[in-house]
Amino acid sequence: MMYRIANKIVIGIVGIFVLVSCHGLEELNENPNQIGSENVDPNLLLPTIINGVGKNVVNLGFGNMAGVMQHTQKDGWSSGHNAYDWSNDSHSWNGYYSLLTNNKTMIEKAEEESLDFHHGVGLILKSYLFGMIADLWGDAPYSNALRGDEGSEFFDAEFDTQQSIYEGIHTDLKKANLLLSNSQDSYFSIQANQDILFAGDVAKWRKFGNSLLLRYYMRLSEKEPGIARQGIQAITSQPQTYPLILQAEDDANMPYIGNTTSDSWPTNTKFDADPQGAYFRIKLAKTFVDKLQELNDPRLGVWANKIDVPLVLEEGAPEGTDFVDEEGKRHISQDIVDAYENTVGLPVDFDSLYVGLPTALTFGASYNLSEDVNQGTRNLHVSQLNDIYKEASGPLLQSRLISASEVNFILAEAAAKGWISGSAENYYNEAIKQSFAAWGVSGDYDDYIANGGAYSAEEDIIVQKWIASWSAATEAWFDYRRTGLPELETGPASKRAALPLRFYYHIDEIDNNQNSSEAIDRLEPTQFKGDDASYNSAWSKFWLLQGTSQPY
């Protein structure tokens, strides 16, 4: 419903109120009290925009996208998370366009007052938000978006092609790099306490923008490999011109404050102590746990608790044997195992340390002989999230917009393709090293690389990148779509027999914007479209995937 919120600015943090242009409310465009760029301090807009971007990254990457990419699964109220049972009322881009409207005002003010820092930062945030919209939905209002205050002809903005949005992102990020290329002391009107991402550090913002540019060139690797290669080569061959985030200390991480529900980590039990609340519903996925255990990955212990009560098969025991010993282990006889497996169709997991929840189970709450089958409660035989995820804030509870680990994985992939000089293995190792640093397990790096985590093929890059994207799994979804990696299987309750490729255009867009029909017609249905009434399906391919044979 982009045109409905084209003029909407919601700035809860700083208390600035801006009017919204909606169908039926067009007269608001004439309001003489409307706050525009001429009377707004960009420093007051900045934290609201960053906060909105950061929360979107976590709400997706620790939410439903973590379910799609099988980092996590829910054992209750799980259809959108585990089974991607989405429809045309599941995902709206309204919030993105509201943030973009705020951001447009900040850019306009920066241009008027020659505030190059705020201008460059605004272009980076604009690119991040429009990139997410193009990545999630495909074609979308772009060139004429956010112009509702200029007249009714802009209420229903046309949908630009996904390709043109990516091209615009490349242009804006290159411009941002130039704007942020001077020394720190050459910029003015920076209020470090309002920059909740980098505290006004120009060099870090510049690295962020260039790292984002690298991401969006690699995004084109299958669709437009020539453009992707040329863009990545231009960046990597000029490190002084295009500095990148290469060390975890420069990661673009937004911390959570933890004072209220809205600024706290989403699974905290400080504001949601319900035993069926978010913390208790979300479990690590079996796919993820098994891979981490296969690699003896120390990050597993940072992200998950060991199971409360391990299961032990009491071989040869009389039927009906079921007791918990003094060490807290539950012993069961073979007949109990057989009855469970015949009913559920899945084997009992006797791992004594970590057990993940399988993908899209019909009755997830009963998995692994749980005796409490209420949805969203503690399963004593399945791993819960680490206790840190009960907290409202903390050093590891951050929205991870882009990281040194991701950048090094992109460089590893480019090297493996022969696009840049350097060793793919060295970049791969550095990517893991930076991920370990980010999660506080640097001391385990050498052993990990020497053993299960060693590089052997290009596929390892994407699989390790998937692991490192914990709590930011949306980027792993985007990688999966262009590579088909990691190889993930759907579950018994999944809506289709394949992972989804995009979000449905929301019903409000379909009903109220005639331009949406043209965008829908440009989508390409796949064999998994099912009973979706039009090409507007989560299993249709947009431009980026058409003709690539990926991921299916």
- CATH code of the domain in which 180 resides: 1.25.40.390
Q: What are phi and psi of 389, to 5 degrees?
A: -80, 0
| Cβ partners under 8 Å of residue 257, min gap 6 | 263, 264, 393
Domain count for the chain, please give it: 2
67 and 170, same domain (yes or no): yes
Q: How far apart are CA 157 and CA 151, in angstroms?
A: 11
Predicted pLDDT of residue 28:
31
76 and 204, same domain (yes or no): yes
Helices 116-136/94-112 angle, 10° precision:
160
CA angle centred on 531, ends 530 and 534, rounded to 5°: 100
181 and 327, same domain (yes or no): no
20 and 116, same domain (yes or no): yes
42 and 122, same domain (yes or no): yes
CB 8 within 8 A of CB 101: yes
329 and 290, same domain (yes or no): yes
315 is in which domain, residue-wise? 278-390
246 and 373, same domain (yes or no): no
Predicted pLDDT of residue 38:
61
176 and 291, same domain (yes or no): no
Predicted pLDDT of residue 372:
82
Structure tokens at 419: 């696009």
Domain end marker among 390, 421, 450: 390
Report if residue 295 sits inside a domain: yes
Helices 473-483/458-468 angle, 10° precision:
160
Report if residue 66 sits inside a domain: yes
Predicted pLDDT of residue 152:
73
66 and 22, same domain (yes or no): yes
CA angle centred on 524, ends 520 and 525, rounded to 5°: 100
Q: How many other CB atoms sit within 10 Å of the CB of residue 183?
A: 8
Report if residue 234 sits inside a domain: yes
Q: Which amino acid is at 521?
A: D
61 and 15, same domain (yes or no): yes
Report if residue 211 sits inside a domain: yes
Report if residue 423 sits inside a domain: no
Asked if residue 42 has a cis previous peptide bond (ω within 30° of 0), the answer is no
Domain end marker among 339, 365, 390: 390
Q: Which of 162, 167, 117 is nearest to 141 (CA)?
A: 162
39 and 101, same domain (yes or no): yes
Q: Containing H/E element for 351?
A: none
CB-count exposure of residue 67 (10 Å: 0-12, 13-18, 19+): buried
Domain end marker among 375, 390, 405: 390
242 and 319, same domain (yes or no): no
Q: In which residue ranges of the chain is pLDDT below 50?
A: 1-36
Report if residue 407 sits inside a domain: no
Report if residue 500 sits inside a domain: no
Report if residue 441 sits inside a domain: no
Burial 37-61 (b: 16+ CB within 10 A, else e): beebbbbbbbbbbbbbbbbbbbebb
